[in-house]
Amino acid sequence: MAKKSDTPNADKVTADDLPYRPCVGIALFNADGLVWMGNRFGFEGAWQLPQGGIDDGETPIEAAMRELKEEIGTDKAEIISETPNWLTYDLPEHLIGKAFKGKYRGQKQKWFAMRFTGKDKHINIDVPDPEFDSWRWNDLATLPDLIVPFKRPVYLQIAAEFHDIPQRIREKGQA
């Protein structure tokens, strides 16, 4: 009988061995109904919305507001809506056991739509641990086409879930 260590790839971590990382994501909409997106620091063309882990003892709402401040330097936002369910994505196979310090298979995310109450000058991506090297306002419907492929299914769900928010903001000046 072969020992575990004698079997090829026996010690390889698989996605089934790991949980999802609890996380939040923020779709921040400006007065024109456009959503904020940032390019991941050091990865040209790796656009995404602000997101991050939920700390112990923190609610998803608290985490969302903290992540917004940590990643894009602003807290000038109010929550409009949230996804009723947690959305999940799996890391690509080559990142399993490596990304997220090897602890997670991917993320389960509670997403929030927020209305930006500030001005562009209130956004500052030059923060102590930068996530983004550039940013822009973008149409929500085109967002899934700009995201790394393994996150695209979640971004399609976000676009569907929050599809009416841009129009509501433009028509009423609020959501």
Question: pLDDT value at position 94?
Answer: 81
Q: How does residue 43 score in pLDDT terms, banded at 50, 70 and 90?
A: confident
Question: pLDDT value at position 173?
Answer: 64
Residue 5 lies in a domain: no
When divided into structural domains, the chain yields a total of 1
Residue 2 lies in a domain: no
- Rounded distance, CA 172 to CA 33, Å? 11
Residue-wise pLDDT for 78-96, tens only, equals 999 999 999 999 988 888 7
Residue 105 lies in a domain: yes
Residue-wise pLDDT for 10-30, tens only, equals 467 677 778 889 999 999 999
Cα radius of gyration rounded to whole Å, the chain: 18
Residue 133 lies in a domain: yes
Instruction: Look at residue 57 and tell me whether its pLDDT is greater than 90.
Output: yes
Give the domain extent around 37: 21-172
Q: Choose between 122 and 9: higher pLDDT.
A: 122
Residue 4 lies in a domain: no
**H or E element in which residue 21 lies:** strand 20-29
Instruction: Look at residue 99 and tell me whether its pLDDT is greater than 50.
Output: yes
Q: Mean pLDDT score of the chain, rounded to an integer?
A: 89
What are 38's strand-pairing partners?
Answer: 48, 135
Residue 13 lies in a domain: no
DSSP-assigned letters across all residues of 64-120: HHHHHHHHHS---EEEEEE-SS-EEEEPPGGGTTTGGGGT-SEEEEEEEEEEE-S-G
CATH number, domain with residue 74: 3.90.79.10
Residue 1 lies in a domain: no
Question: pLDDT value at position 83?
Answer: 97
Question: pLDDT value at position 3?
Answer: 45
Q: What's the one-letter identity of residue 102?
A: G
Please tell me what DSSP assigns to residue 55: P
Residue 12 lies in a domain: no
